[in-house]
Amino acid sequence: MNIPDELYYTKEHEWIRVEGQTATVGITDHAQEQLGDITYVELPEPGTAVSQNGELATVESVKAASDVYSPVAGTISSVNEALEDAPERINSDPYGTGWLCTLSGITEDQLSALMNAAEYGAFVAQEE
């Protein structure tokens, strides 16, 4: 299983990459494996304020629809519009071209509630 070291993770299987006051959010490799082939993604509108653990997006697959929650509070600054025509990018590259959105105005103190790569790996192992 692919778990990049530089990211933070949630128990709902979202990841976040922090660069200054901006963060990129997506779902983990484990999450996309559990969902199966992703067929549709409903992304938030740029400018929308989200709370930590608030609903961020919806990912639909051949198996189920699943809500995606925001790992931190912030404002949606951009969304990955390429997913509208190619939602399968989440399956093929969940940590790269399969990102969902970026958030601005985040604060570092919220990251303490998230897991690092080692903690997330242990969490996933417990679930299986």
Contact 27, 38 (CB under 8 A): no
121 belongs to a structural domain:
no
The CA distances from residue 14 to 7, 18, 43, in Å, are 10, 13, 14
Structural domain total, the chain:
1
68 belongs to a structural domain:
yes
60 belongs to a structural domain:
yes
3 belongs to a structural domain:
no
CA angle 117-121-123, nearest 5°?
Answer: 115
CATH number at residue 21: 2.40.50.100
Q: Can you give the pLDDT of all 128 residues of the chain as single tens digits? A: 789 999 999 999 999 999 988 999 999 999 999 999 999 999 999 999 999 999 999 999 999 999 999 999 999 999 999 999 999 999 999 999 999 999 999 988 899 999 999 999 999 999 87
89 belongs to a structural domain:
yes
Distance, CA of 7 to CA of 18 (rounded, Å): 8
Range of the domain at 41: 8-115
